[in-house]
Amino acid sequence: MFGQSSLGSTSTNRMNDFEVVAPPEDSVSALEFSPATVQQNFLIAGSWDSSVRCWEVEQTGKTVPKSMKTMGGPVLDVCWSDDGTKVFIASEKQVKIWDLASDQQMQVAAHEAPVKTCHWIKSSNYTCLMTGSWDKTLKFWDTRSPNPMLAINLPERCYCADVDYPMAVVGTAGRGLIIYSLENSPTEFKRQESPLKYQHRTISIFRDKKKAPTGYALGSIEGRVGIQYVNPINPKDNFTFKCHRSSGSTGFQDIYAVNDIAFHPIHGTLVTVGSDGTFSFWDKDARTKLKSSETMDQSITKCSFNANGQIFAYAVGYDWSKGHEYFNPTKKPQIFLRSCYEDLKPRTT
């Protein structure tokens, strides 16, 4: 795709990657590449500065800012429509749809507390927007109607969610995990015991060899990831592993949050990014680490693969994981891109 940048322009570019121009003013809270239905690569980033930005990523690694919208408050999630013409933006207690061609936006979803997640669902007989909120509900919106098609009560606040049709999964406060079947209409399929003992931070669905969604990876604030199958053939198929930890000089270990997890769209391998300022590539089937990055200047808050799995994007910025005393206003958020297809190939046996 594109080679690595030879300049390494600033010392904060630890991996000598391509730096996205004109990044947000505050930490990146959502990062999503355009779907495969779009020929070019577009990258959307939502931020705590209340902005949503769109760039075109060229084959050379050059980024061209395309557009920006400002919301009424911090953006907690973004997602694309399946045809790549629209972007949904969760900010405060609502979700807006942004039509990229006309540059118009309008509200399409509302909750009684901030909306933490938004995902577009495309089924053979319906399309809708799924929103998860801190008001302890999961709602499904037709986007043409002011009222939801369906509202489901959750046991607790929605902290993380993912959708890969016909499966959805939601992680809540109190370590709740609920799987939904989306065929015909969304219905609860199963509640699972969390494999992790600490607060859920991120969740990502993975597929089997036939490209059908079959399980998920769940990351917690305690430097650990759980790999869970919906219907494990063997109970030993489910396992957890430690990550984003550093051994301090005193014999104690520093343990950081897993901030985001993404699966490679072709290889099925995965990446985790953390508050320790590193990303790691993993092969869950071989149960092995493929690569680890250098440690960045700040936490890595979000990451994304583009549709054909050639580009890996990751956002560096402060996530307040060490409190206000570690906040340094001179350190600005950055988004980096790297060519990743080879690094994420599964371990050959």
Q: Give the distance from CA 91 to its chain's centroid.
A: 16
CA distance to 15, 224, 298, 343, per residue, from 264 (Å): 19, 19, 24, 11
Contact 219, 227 (CB under 8 A): no
Instruction: Return d(Cα 203, Cα 198) in angstroms, integer.
Output: 14
| Triad 268, 271, 273: Cα angle to 5° | 160
The CA–CA distances, whole Å, from 95 to 139, 143, 320, 344 equal 11, 10, 25, 34
Integer Cα distance of 180 and 183 in angstroms: 9
Among 140, 124, 227, 134, which Cα is nearest to 180's?
A: 140
Are 141 and 127 in contact, with CB atoms under 8 Å apart?
no
Instruction: Express each pLDDT in 47-96 by its tens digit.
Output: 999 999 999 999 999 999 999 999 999 999 999 999 999 999 999 999 99
**What's the pTM?**
0.95
CA distance 173 to 238: 22
Contacts of 235 (CB under 8 A, 6+ apart): none
* Average pLDDT of adjacent 10-residue blocks, the chain of 349 residues: 49 91 98 97 98 96 96 98 98 98 97 98 95 98 95 98 98 98 96 96 97 98 98 95 87 93 98 98 98 96 98 97 93 97 90
**Measured distance between the N- and C-terminal CA atoms of the chain, rounded to whole angstroms:** 26
Q: Are 33 and 43 in contact (CB under 8 A)?
A: yes
236, 255 Cβ separation under 8 angstroms? no
250 CB neighbour count, 10 Å cutoff: 6
CA–CA separation, 213 and 208 (whole Å) = 6
Residues 168, 185: contact at Cβ < 8 Å? Answer: no
CB 18 within 8 A of CB 337: yes
Query: How far apart are the C-alpha atoms of 288 and 346, rounded to whole Å?
Result: 9
Q: What is the pLDDT of residue 252?
A: 86
- Structural domains in the chain plus CATH codes: 16-342 (2.130.10.10)
d(CA 95, CA 108): 6
pLDDT of residue 224: 98
Give CA torsion, residues 313, 318, 319, 322, to 10 deg: 140
Neighbours of 230 (CB within 10 A): 16
Res 8: pLDDT: 44
Hey, what's the torsion of the CAs at 295, 300, 305, 306, to 10 degrees?
-110
User: What pLDDT does 247 receive?
Assistant: 77
CA 91, 66, 37, 219 torsion: positive or negative?
negative
